[in-house]
Structure 1
């Protein structure tokens, strides 16, 4: 559905402080194909400084997603495996889990803060408690090929340049690579 743009994703929008429309995309690791809808890091060999910045920034974004899924799976262990349900039922299960998670977070904010990853004063990762449990797999590696598209390469390079531009950089990123 992502290949055919049948998920109803919003139309491309410019990144903050930029004027070029960029498609919305998912964040993955090397197990996934590079597409306009799936950004993954550059290979770890002979990276330029700009590519290291891109990988760092993508990694930070991916960590937010890992925290969200990790917290839900820690609390609601039915999410650790395959939900052998009809898609409509899976939607309801996930909505129920997210709603219950949000209620717990509002009622017990100190517990929620301990559970998620944090950064120390030097922007270094301090792992959250959810990471002590079982971690989710990065994806089903048995389907499809990991084939790069030229449009995906072009978009990743554009985002790399954005992360290294005045509009898209953050003040501490040079210290993190």
Structure 2
């Protein structure tokens, strides 16, 4: 598993997101999944999650081809996606500007520069380099609906990556009864093997629905509010304007 370290590598990832999923300047999709475990001895409620099971969390950044670019595993299942991302080394590098991302640039035929971004769901906090959907708690206009569709379509690659991982390594289909430290190593190894097998098998058939991901690997609850900066909101609005106008695709209209 090789983490991108040059501007050229990030640009290649972004170009694949644009070509395959019609979302430009994207360096990856992020999400977290519960890996259900048997309750460790004397752990109390430390690993107990909102689903009523015990778990550790696999947090990941994936590229447009379902490969894992970055993973963080072992956090207890009580923590939300946003909480895990906030404290992981990926976010730290993002905040310290050490990811070596390409410079901001304008979307095609637009005049306002935007940064390269990651795509997340409602569980994450909107920020300069992390886009999330417009909240569905209030009525959305057509432009916001188009943006949500385009983001969710591109972000789905991380959900698919988790599904492929579970299909290949069936240990994740039921609660794992091992020491937590051993489970961490198993998950890390499975992710590395997943990437290796992806390179050997260029074509991957997704023969499952996202809602049918086995119960031993489940999504994390959407928790917390988001007081994003005006800059973050303006960046999301710029992408929304682009998708609604210059960057529209024919089939987006039937999905809103």
Normalising by structure 1, what TM-score? 0.68
Work out which of the residue numbers 183, 196, 207 in structure 2 matches 1:99. 196
Higher relative contact order structure (alpha carbons within 8 Å, sequence separation ≥ 6): 1
Give the aligned partner of residue 160 of structure 1. 240
1:54 correspondence with 2:147: yes
> Which blocks of at least 5 consecutive residues in structure 2 are unaligned?
1-91
* Structure-to-structure mapping, 1:19-168, within 5 angstroms: 20-44=112-136, 45-76=138-169, 84=184, 90=188, 94-103=191-200, 105-106=201-202, 109=203, 112-115=204-207, 127=209, 131-134=212-215, 135-138=217-220, 146-166=226-246, 168=247
Choose which of 80, 97, 100 in structure 2 pairs with 1:8: 100
CA contact (8 A) 1:31 1:146 kept: no
Report if aligned partners of 1:71, 1:115 keep a CA contact under 8 Å in 2: no
**Cα distance, 1:79 vs. partner?**
7.8
> How far apart are residue 78 of structure 1 and its match?
7.1
Higher helix share: 1
Give the deviation of 1:36 after TM superposition: 1.3
The structural deviation recorded for 1:173 is: 1.2
Note the alpha carbon deviations across 1:72-91, whole angstroms, 9 max, x for none.
24323678998646xxxx5x
Query: Which residue does the alignment assign to 1:173?
Result: 252
Contact 1:70 1:136 in 2 (8 A): no
Change (3 A) 1:102 1:140: farther
In the alignment, structure 1 segments of 5+ residues that lack a partner are 117-126
Task: Measure the CA separation in 2 of the matches of 1:67 and 1:47.
Answer: 27
Measure how far apart 1:160 and its partner are. Answer: 0.3
Offset at residue 70 of structure 1 (A): 2.3
CA contact (8 A) 2:165 2:191 kept: no
- Measure the CA separation in 1 of the matches of 2:106 and 2:226: 28
Q: Whose strand fraction is larger, Structure 1's or Structure 2's?
A: 2
Structure 1 vs Structure 2 CA RMSD: 3.3
Aligned pairs, number: 154
TM-score, normalised via structure 2 length: 0.50
